Amino acid sequence: MPEDNVQQDPRIRFARDLILRKKDLTLQQLFKFIPKKVIAESIGLNVNGFINVRSKEPENFKLREFIKFAKVFDLDLHIVVDLFVRSIKLESKNNDLIL
């Protein structure tokens, strides 16, 4: 999806607003409102890989993917990192892992 089209997509704008308003939002909650496919395409990731694996393992995202996510959603990088940290902590808690 070309970057100009991504930023015009109302789902991307909605996701941005949701991330900014709901300070305790996690990725899993975000996926209830925005299809994983939309997010994967917007940040340039393989859709099937994102849906089946990556979306369930937020700890495996790379810095460049955080940066792309921040750019596409027009967010400060620290907001994106906070979103992923909350998601990782929740995942760790649910799986009885120590973080």
For the segment 32-88, what is each residue's pLDDT rounded down to a tens digit? 999 999 999 999 999 999 999 999 999 999 999 999 999 999 999 999 999 999 999
Tally the residues of the chain: 99
Which amino acid belongs to residue 1? M
Q: Give the CATH architecture of domain 3-94.
A: Orthogonal Bundle (1.10)
Structure tokens at 94: 């649910």
pTM over 0.85: no
- Residue 6 — pLDDT band, cuts 50, 70, 90? low
Domain boundaries, the chain: 3-94
